[in-house]
A and B are shown apart, each in its own frame.
Chain A
Amino acid sequence: DVVMTQTPVSLSVSLGGQTSISCRSSQSLVHSDGNTYLYWYLQKPGQSPQLLIYKVSNRFSGVPDRFSGSGSGTDFTLKISRVEPEDLGVYYCYQGTHYPPTFGAGTKLELK
């Protein structure tokens, strides 16, 4: 199985600040069809996960441009700028390139 390693485990940020989360995969996430099926989800307390970014760098509908995804191959990053209270929760990276699909262990974003 592809192991998704997220760092850090937790983050403490100030409102209005900027931060980033790293996600590294144990194998390249480039699919044979040329796409890279790397996604970012946010799970707010008591809620279901919500999609932020799909295929590395595409913001899902309604996601603010404060969120941006980048990376390639095995190394990916989610950047959050101008952090707002609604951004708090646990962020997960997820790969759908290889079966079984796998999630990172999560990064908890808290307020400083």
Chain B
Amino acid sequence: EVQLVESGGGLVQPGRSMKLSCAASGFTFSNYGMAWVRQAPTKGLEWVATISYDGSSTYYRDSVKGRFTISRDNAKSTLYLQMNSLRSEDTATYYCTRGAYWGQGVMVTVSS
């Protein structure tokens, strides 16, 4: 059974950093590209970043480019999202996804 389990969320002050993790199981992690998608409270879904199966290619939405870094450790079957210079508008539930499969999401609240 495919499982994606996010961790690392919480409350953080504007301008600070936070790192999300997504532990994958039930499939060969190193064979798949992965992505982060977020959802602000009461809002719709918004793609954040994608990484290729081997980590050689990464893509970001403009609003996070230069602040967020997506990465992966295939030996640990884990996806990461390093978020720096956080803003109030980054407040959202962050989902790790393989397209057809999604984690349960982790809440990130940026507030002073």
Q: Which residues of A contact B (CB under 8 A)?
A: 39, 41, 43, 48-51, 54, 60, 90, 92, 94, 96, 99-106
Those 8 A-B pairs whose CB atoms lie nearest each other, nearest first: A48-B102, A103-B45, A101-B47, A51-B100, A106-B44, A100-B61, A105-B44, A49-B102
Which residue among B37, B59, B99 has the maximum number of chain A CB atoms within 10 Å of its CB? Answer: B99
Contacts A92-B44, A102-B47, A103-B45: A51 and B59 contacting too (C-beta < 8 A)?
no
B102 and A103 contact, CB distance less than 8 A: no
A103 and B103 contact, CB distance less than 8 A: no
Q: Which residues of B contact A (CB under 8 A)?
A: 35, 37, 44-47, 50, 59, 61-62, 95, 99-105
Bound form: Cα–Cα A43–B46 in Å: 13
> A39 → chain B, closest Cβ, in Å?
8
Dominant SS among interface residues on chain A: strand
Which residue among A49, A50, A90, A106 has the maximum number of chain B CB atoms within 10 Å of its CB? Answer: A49
Bound form: Cα–Cα A92–B43 in Å: 12
B95 and A100 contact, CB distance less than 8 A: no
Bound form: Cα–Cα A49–B47 in Å: 13
Q: Which residues of B contact A51 (CB under 8 A)?
A: 99-101
B45 and A92 contact, CB distance less than 8 A: yes
Chosen A-B contacts, 27 in total, with CB atoms closer than 8 Å, are: A41-B45, A48-B95, A48-B102, A48-B103, A48-B105, A49-B37, A49-B45, A49-B95, A49-B102, A50-B102, A51-B99, A54-B99, A60-B100, A90-B44, A96-B99, A100-B47, A100-B59, A100-B61, A101-B35, A101-B47, A103-B44, A103-B45, A103-B46, A103-B47, A104-B44, A105-B44, A106-B45
> A98 → chain B, closest Cβ, in Å?
11
A54 and B100 contact, CB distance less than 8 A: yes
